[in-house]
Amino acid sequence: MKAHGPARRLAMLKMLAWAAVTLLGAKVVVSIVLQYGDYFPPNFDSAFLIGREQSFRGIYPPAFYAHIIAGPFTLLLAAYLMFSGKRKTYHKLHRRLGKLQVLLVLVVIVPSGLIMAAWAFSGPIAGSGFALQSIATGITAALAARYAMIKKIAIHQIWATRCFVLLISPLIFRLISGTLIVTESESVEAYQVNAWLSWLVPLLVYEVWRYRQQRTRKSALVERNLMEATS
């Protein structure tokens, strides 16, 4: 029983952490949706559209509306796919919704993100960060789909998780932006740094976690093989 105590507590902590992250993400998504009143019609005094009268023309408005409408739905879809990925009972639904997510990412999210990045607030430094984030999201979604189609599920899960991390990074960007506003630390430079770090840092955290998990599994396998060899 003692051996199961720490593992049980760790599992509980992980569950609580996931619950906290889920609630925080849901709060940000709801706050984004509640701001839709400022977008239909566009209110150029609102936080996101302030000072965008000149850029809000031509191809930008269709890209903007496509992005803000498809974005929350794609994010919720990605969250469900992460939850249902290892459950055999949801296999068919997971596969169908996965195809829908890849379609939304490649046809709507990435193209609209690239268009919006060209007119990013604070100029090309932030814009290039948003553009590379959009491209990386498209690549990870495409590779996740490819490995799913050829039945390399373990590799598919890695790329799907990378795609999920990139899809939730706009929420992290919004959280950091909100914190900067509350602490009166908002500036052009902070916005530019946020445009890069809000998706690079989460990706790095995931890669470090994945590397440590691989090392742990390899160490456990080596130890088990040594025990079997000496028994």
Cα–Cα distance measured from residue 91 to residue 151, given in angstroms and rounded to the nearest whole number: 13
pTM of the model: 0.83
Q: What pLDDT does 28 receive?
A: 67
Q: Which residues contact 22 (CB under 8 A, 6 or more apart)?
A: 79
pLDDT digit string (tens) for 51-110? Answer: 778 788 899 999 999 998 999 889 889 988 988 767 666 788 899 999 999 999 999 999
Helix ranges, the chain (H): 4-34, 60-84, 91-104, 110-118, 124-149, 153-182, 188-230
pLDDT value for 155: 95
11 confidence band (pLDDT: 50, 70, 90): low
**Res 21: pLDDT:** 64
Q: Where are the domains of the chain?
A: 23-230
Residue 18 has pLDDT above 90, yes or no: no
**Whether pLDDT at 181 is above 80:** yes
Mean pLDDT of the chain: 85
